[in-house]
Amino acid sequence: MTGDETAIETVERVSGTGIPVRGNDIDTDQIIPARFLKVVTFDGLGQFAFHDVRFTDDDEPKDHPFNEDRFRNASVLVVNSNFGCGSSREHAPQALKRWGIDAVVGESFAEIFAGNCLALGVPTVTASAREIEALQDFVDENPDGEIEVDVADESVRYGAPNSEHHEIDATVDEAQRKALVEGVWDTTALMKSNAGAVTETARSLPYVEEAE
């Protein structure tokens, strides 16, 4: 495999409709309860996102945005402060990604959660509490309204069809922005795209035996 056989995906912009999940300090145990961590693969984990705050013990649905049909195809999650705190489980962003979330916009994020999102190519973008509240209100009132998360320019634009559009001066962690825009967030893809160099490096190491 040569160096140009595997394309490395860049994430400069993410667009789609939004889904608001309100509340500060929503931890990873709420995002994906511990009993669902025993899965062999992450496939199918999306159906269990926010499970215990979405359903009763008898599996009756509660009032939660992830249960509402109007947000069924949303891809931009809008949250508040310290989202993703608690344990460092990577299953949390995996569950959100498999539910359909491609970007998260909020007031602030737990550092490890943001790092786990980056490993999936999911940007975590921050803005002021006032701007986030306004965006959540917009999404509630306009579930079909388009949101564009511009990672490269650090901005979030949103608006309903045939109406005035708003732009938020957002912030993306510089290391995250660089990794997403330059396409160096996916370490597996990087290794595949540089398979020749990896092989040559391995051959040069005295402690790596070449397969017969």
Q: What Å distances lie between residue 136 and 11, 17, 65, 89, CA to CA?
A: 23, 12, 11, 26
Measured on CA atoms in the order 88, 84, 170, 46, is the torsion positive or negative? positive
Dist. CA 171–CA 101, nearest whole Å: 19
Domain range for 75 is 13-171
Check residue 17 and give its pLDDT: 97
Give domain status of residue 141, yes or no.
yes
Check if the beta carbon of residue 176 is closer than 8 Å to that of residue 113: no
Domain count, the chain: 1
Check residue 210 and give its pLDDT: 58
Check residue 194 and give its pLDDT: 43
DSSP 41: S
Check residue 22 and give its pLDDT: 98
pTM of the model: 0.84
Instruction: Per-residue pLDDT tens, the chain, 212 aa: give them.
Output: 344 445 678 999 999 999 999 999 999 999 999 988 877 678 889 999 999 999 999 999 999 999 999 999 999 999 999 999 999 889 999 999 999 999 999 999 999 999 999 999 999 999 999 999 999 999 999 999 999 999 999 999 999 877 788 999 999 999 999 999 999 876 554 444 444 544 455 455 566 565 55
Q: Are strands 103-106 and 166-169 parallel, antiparallel or unpaired?
A: unpaired
Q: Tell me the two tokens of residue 61.
A: 């649905």
Dist. CA 48–CA 28, nearest whole Å: 12
Find the CATH number of the domain harbouring 78. Answer: 3.20.19.10
Give domain status of residue 63, yes or no.
yes
Give domain status of residue 119, yes or no.
yes
Give domain status of residue 103, yes or no.
yes
Give domain status of residue 164, yes or no.
yes
Give domain status of residue 151, yes or no.
yes
Give domain status of residue 127, yes or no.
yes
User: If residue 140 lies in a helix (H) or strand (E), which one and from where to where?
Assistant: helix 129-141
Measured on CA atoms in the order 5, 10, 15, 19, is the torsion positive or negative? positive
